[in-house]
Amino acid sequence: MKKLDYGEKLFELFYSGDETNIDLAITLADAVGADLSLFWAGVEELFQFINPEMADGISLRDKLAAVQGRSSLYKSMHKLENLPEYIGLANNLRNLNLEHNLLKRLPESLGEMKNLSEISLWDNQLRYLPESIGNLYKINSLNLWNNLLERLPDTIGNLSKLEIMILSQNRLNALPEKMSNMKSLRELSLADNYFEDFPICIAGMNSLETLNLSRNKIKRLPDFLSKMHSLLKLELSGNPLLPGEAEKLLTAAPELNFIF
């Protein structure tokens, strides 16, 4: 997202969500003669997007407060193609549910929404994720089923509190190495992608309980699977496993619920 042209400090104050800071930003902008028209136009767009049912006639300052006062946003089956560039101003959202739309990209300002704990964006048309997604340190559930993702940004490995990650039915053939930092991840679904090799970063996910890699192109299984003592269920049906691969894993990890 393009940062406000009246300075980094004002940008930080507005995005803080703190009323005192926002009032200070407005005072400073007036003092230096900064043009806030672009910012307030963004606030207006975001207000109409998030609160279309609220009556108009309230001040832009109150509209900003209304946006920053929301804790959840649910817009399913709205045929959305884009999100407001300033959606990051809604930085008190805990839950963002925009499934079953037509979204092709996410604004970089998404990374300002640092209180998010759940994002549901399944059944859209996303081809990539913004680098700033790695700033969402509180997120514990991310559902991106049925998009068009071909790769993930390295920064996604910063999501150390993420517990559930659904990436099934995309176009992925590899995962960033930094995803090995996801020590809280319990459920990972990568079914219906284009993986030919088993993602090595999974070896570092020492809380993983359920892993679904069904209907990919995997032929060989890594030795580290038998050493992942947290893993309870592994789904690999629909992969062209070489003869003996499944039997070798079953022998090494007889307690594993292995579906192949």
The predicted-structure confidence for 230-241, as pLDDT tens digits, reads as follows: 999 999 999 999
pLDDT at residue 74 tops 60: yes
Stretch 3-21: mean pLDDT: 70
Q: How many CA atoms lie within 13 A of 28 on its CB side?
A: 15
pLDDT at residue 257 tops 80: yes
Confidence of residue 19 (pLDDT cuts 50, 70, 90): confident
Query: What pLDDT digit, counting tens, does each position of 205-248 carry?
Result: 999 999 999 999 999 999 999 999 999 999 999 999 999 999 99
Distances (CA, A) of 78 to 75, 81, 167, 206: 6, 9, 22, 38
Stretch 28-36: mean pLDDT: 78
pLDDT reported for residue 1: 40
Confidence of residue 5 (pLDDT cuts 50, 70, 90): very low
**211 — phi, psi (to 5°)?**
-130, 125
| SS3 state of residue 143 | strand
- pTM score of the predicted model: 0.90
Between CA 52 and CA 62, with CA 57 as vertex, the angle to 5 degrees is 80
pLDDT reported for residue 14: 79
Comparison of pLDDT for 253 and 113, the residue scoring more: 113
Query: What pLDDT digit, counting tens, does each position of 107-140 carry?
Result: 999 999 999 999 999 999 999 999 999 999 999 9
